[in-house]
Structure 1
Amino acid sequence: MRTRRFRLEEGGPKRLELSWRGHYEELRATVDGVQVGESQGKSALRHGELWRLPDGSRLGVRLHQGGLQLLLVEHEGRPVPGSLGHPMTWVRGAAYGLLLACFVLLLRDYVLMLVRAEQLGGARPVLPFVLSGAIGLAGLVTLRLPRVGLIAGVLLVPLKLFMAAMQWTGAGLRISPMDVALWSLVLLYPLLTALYMMRYAPTVEGATRSES
């Protein structure tokens, strides 16, 4: 049995607990330890279910299977913080991904700088470190201004990887254009997914939710 806890509103305590077996089978919801709903099977969950909470408010759940397979959870029509239907869940994930990429790329830049200094000598390049730092900055911006940070990341990541490939080749290591394209897709996927969810996040009712 898998279990996850959620806040019903931003900043509140984690009062909601969802538990299920397998792939969202036998889904149960409890609030403050009191069971408020149980799924009537995966077919019903795909269509969406609505349960009343002790305070009279409504909890909606639906298993969305269009492109991304997501368990949508809404309280009074609003996505529950931390749930997969909440655009900010994806935005935060993309932001942390950019910060992690910044750390890895800065470490790579440092190692490559040592390799080039040993093999070729000469001045130490600054631009690679600037681009890696800019990716980290885009991650920080994403937490405050999601669209700006995500778009900046989408532009910076391929440029950084292209320049990295040029550096590796200059240091005697062969990097193919396909390698650059594949790594770009890997790093861009969470950014593009976050942008998509901000514009087309699905709802329990089956519509889409646009986040400004």
Structure 2
Amino acid sequence: MGVLKLALEEGGPRNLELFWGAGWRDLRIELDDQPVGSVEDPLQLEQGVEFTLPDGSVLHVQIVHVVATELRVKRDGVPLPDSASDPGSLVRSATYMLYGMAAFTTAAVMVLFVVTNDVEKTLPGLLLNLIYGGVVAVLGFFMFKRSRVAPLVAILILSADTLYTAFMKLTSPKGVGLSTMTWLVIRVFIFSVLVKGFLGAMELARREKQGPAAAGPATSPSLHAETGTG
């Protein structure tokens, strides 16, 4: 059973709770322990369902299949803090991804340095990978600062590395095996996280430029929408 607790606004209490069973079935939504609505069929969630909250705002819930399945939760069209499509969450995920790549690369270099039998021959490659890890770590720092350039640079570097590595694997005598396919799937996932991080940074910059009104949903009672009953 899945559980997700979210706040309706930045810094607010996580009093909105979503519960679901296997395969996203039997979704239930509660606010302050009071039922908001439910959806039994996951196909309805893929199309998107809406519920009217006590303050008149509209809660939109939808399952989206991108690289991985996401449960997107919006209030009056604005993603809730820490939800799947929240720009702040997208930036944090991209930051963690870059830091993780830097840590993995550095650790791999250290291990290879210890186990290699010919340090002099492998040293240039190890140093190159160490520099690569350092650059990725720096990009992660700027990503944390919500830079819009950092994810673009990371995508360009990763693209060049992916193309080069893919070419080497395709032209090798071993050809394309299961390990290569797994490697490509991982790269696609990394790309998706970085692209989302870039889009998240763009949205945060737009909100900062437009002021507080762009960051929060309108709660006007005149806003009408269909209420889902599940």
Same fold (TM over 0.5): yes
- Corresponding residue of 1:63: 63
Between stretches 184-193 and 73-82, larger displacement belongs to: 184-193
SS in structure 1 of the partner of residue 157 of structure 2: helix
Structure 1 residues 124-203: aligned runs within 5 Å:
125=124, 126-157=127-158, 183=183, 186-187=186-187, 189-195=189-195
Q: Does 2:35 correspond to 1:4?
A: no
Between stretches 144-153 and 13-22, larger displacement belongs to: 144-153
Distance 1:105 1:195 in 2: 21
Distance 1:53 1:43 in 2: 23
Deviation of 1:197 (Å): 7.5
Letter in 1 for 2:21: R
Structure 1 residues 31-70: aligned runs within 5 Å:
31-39=31-39, 41-65=41-65, 69-70=69-70
Q: Cα deviation per residue 1:72-95 (whole Å; 9 max; x = unaligned)?
A: 210121011222233443332222
SS in structure 2 of the partner of residue 12 of structure 1: coil
Q: Cα deviation per residue 1:45-77 (whole Å; 9 max; x = unaligned)?
A: 333222122222221112334776432210121
* Pairs aligned (count): 194
Gaps of 5+ in 2: 166-171, 207-230
Distance 1:111 1:20 in 2: 43
Distance 2:162 2:44 in 1: 45
Between stretches 105-114 and 176-185, larger displacement belongs to: 176-185
Specify whether residues 133 and 67 from structure 1 end up closer, same or farther in structure 2 by C-alpha distance, changes over 3 A only: closer
Distance 2:119 2:46 in 1: 60
Gaps of 5+ in 1: 165-173, 202-209
Between stretches 127-136 and 185-194, larger displacement belongs to: 185-194
Does the 8 Å CA contact 1:87/1:198 hold for their aligned counterparts? no
| Larger relative strand fraction | 1
Specify whether residues 182 and 20 from structure 1 end up closer, same or farther in structure 2 by C-alpha distance, changes over 3 A only: closer
Identity %: 25
Letter in 2 for 1:129: L
Q: Cα deviation per residue 1:123-150 (whole Å; 9 max; x = unaligned)?
A: 9554432221111111222222353222
Letter in 2 for 1:132: G
Distance 2:122 2:71 in 1: 53
SS in structure 2 of the partner of residue 141 of structure 1: helix
Structure with bigger RCO (C-alpha 8 Å, 6+ apart): 2
Deviation of 1:119 (Å): 2.1
SS in structure 2 of the partner of residue 5 of structure 1: strand
SS in structure 1 of the partner of residue 29 of structure 2: strand
Specify whether residues 154 and 47 from structure 1 end up closer, same or farther in structure 2 by C-alpha distance, changes over 3 A only: closer
SS in structure 1 of the partner of residue 108 of structure 2: helix
Letter in 2 for 1:71: L
Specify whether residues 69 and 110 from structure 1 end up closer, same or farther in structure 2 by C-alpha distance, changes over 3 A only: closer
Between stretches 27-36 and 145-154, larger displacement belongs to: 145-154
Does the 8 Å CA contact 2:93/2:193 hold for their aligned counterparts? no
Does the 8 Å CA contact 1:73/1:83 hold for their aligned counterparts? yes
